[in-house]
């Protein structure tokens, strides 16, 4: 068992935690459970810090015949809070899923946990997500192809856009072929169609904004009540308004980036999940500059969704995240 106890006050935080788990994909570096009677599980825990938490977590898993493959612990300096994420294998015959929930619930009560979530990828249903997009396709197309290849462990319930796509576009053809509903909702300043969007995403576990160029209101976020993950450029220094890539290119920046974060009422200021950067130079023209920026956005959004689905993201302080 690999166990690291990290003591730091510099690691990030987030808002809600979708409680629903999802179905089967193999954890990187581990054999498929189809070749063994053992199944993989993941447990995350967030509670006030005290002596004996790690011992009790280990005892809970070991007492049911489970074996911890790896554990990551974070206890911020001078803060009475404990975070952990454990990966383990177990025999589902000896430790039924319902019993596992009960065992971890008892631990949660014992330590007064704010978060205690367990997921068994081979047993639990996948997260259901809705994707919102505008005119730009690069992030949307990337997510669709990752999903098709089994590299995005979610079920896409619908794609919603304020931009109309013709019936013969590659996105529409892909969605029709895979029976994913597409909803075009024309928006104006006076009507963002939020009530209709809320009806369409009732059955989702979280939402992804794949370059959706509309601001979601506080009413929408409160009514939806679950997490919304966004992606935007992180051009350094920051450029706002129309055509930020052109602004940054003209200013001769040497470093560009992308940021994926949770959506809050404060525009583009929600808790950060993932950030990526890349150097550009005088040798780049505007086309290569934009291509590099869009590629970062694709990678950053996919990485953030993967981290979220693997239960790697936990709330920390007011506007930060712990990302294991």
Query: Any residues with CB less than 8 A from the CB of 4 and at least 6 apart, and which?
Result: 71, 72, 73
Q: How far apart are CA 227 and CA 134, in angstroms?
A: 19
SS3 assignment for 11-60? CCECCCCCCCCCCCCCCCCCCCHHHCCCEEEEEEEEECCCCCHHHHHHHH
268 carries an active-site annotation: yes
The separation between CA 64 and the C-alpha centre of its own chain, rounded to angstroms, equals 30
Best CA proximity match to 258, nearest among 224, 210, 220: 210
**C-beta separation of 297 from 288 below 8 A:** no
- Cβ atoms of residues 266 and 280 within 8 Å: no
Q: How many CB atoms lie within 10 A of CB 6?
A: 13
How far, in Å, CA of 27 to CA of 41, rounded? Answer: 10
Q: How far apart are the C-alpha atoms of 15 and 225, rounded to whole Å?
A: 10
Close Cβ partners of 259 (under 8 Å, ≥ 6 residues apart): 231, 232, 233, 234, 268, 272, 274, 275, 300
- Neighbouring C-beta atoms of residue 218, cutoff 10 Å: 10
Beta bridge partners of 160: 132, 183
Query: Token pair of 13, please?
Result: 């935080």
Helix (H) / strand (E) containing 147: helix 138-148
Residue of 103, 124, 268, 284 marked catalytic: 268
For 153, phi and psi rounded to 5 degrees?
A: -80, 65
Taking the C-alpha atoms of residue 286 and residue 245, their distance in angstroms, rounded to an integer, is 8
The residues annotated as belonging to the active site are 268
């Amino acid at each position: 068992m690999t166990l690291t106890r990290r003591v730091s006050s510099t690691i990030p935080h987030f808002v809600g935690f979708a409680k629903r788990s999802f179905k089967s994909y193999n954890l990187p570096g581990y054999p498929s459970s189809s070749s063994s009677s053992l199944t993989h599980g993941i447990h995350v825990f967030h509670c006030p810090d005290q002596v004996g938490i790690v011992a009790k977590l280990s005892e809970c898993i070991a007492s049911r015949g489970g074996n911890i493959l790896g554990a990551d612990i974070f206890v911020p300096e001078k803060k009475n809070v404990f975070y952990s994420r454990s990966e383990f294998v177990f025999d589902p015959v000896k430790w039924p899923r319902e019993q596992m929930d009960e065992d971890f619930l008892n631990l949660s009560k014992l330590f007064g946990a704010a978060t205690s979530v367990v997921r068994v990828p081979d047993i639990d249903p996948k997260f259901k997500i809705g994707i919102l997009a505008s005119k730009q396709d690069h992030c949307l197309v990337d997510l669709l192809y990752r999903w098709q290849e089994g590299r995005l462990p979610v079920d896409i319930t619908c794609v919603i856009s304020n931009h109309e796509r013709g019936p013969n576009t590659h996105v529409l053809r892909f969605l029709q072929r895979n029976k994913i509903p597409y909803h075009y909702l024309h928006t104006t300043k006076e009507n963002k169609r939020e009530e209709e969007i809320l009806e369409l995403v009732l059955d989702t576990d979280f939402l992804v904004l794949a370059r959706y160029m509309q601001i979601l209101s506080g009413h929408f976020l409160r009514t939806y009540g679950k997490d919304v993950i966004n992606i935007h450029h992180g051009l350094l220094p920051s450029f706002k308004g129309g055509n930020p890539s052109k602004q940054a290119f003209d200013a001769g920046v040497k470093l560009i980036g992308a940021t994926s974060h949770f959506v809050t009422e404060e525009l583009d200021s929600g808790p950060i999940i993932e950030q990526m950067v890349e150097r550009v130079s005088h040798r780049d023209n505007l086309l290569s500059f934009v291509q590099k920026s869009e590629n970062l956005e694709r990678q950053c959004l996919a990485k953030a969704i993967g981290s979220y689905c693997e239960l790697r993201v936990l709330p920390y302080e007011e506007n930060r995240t712990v990302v294991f």
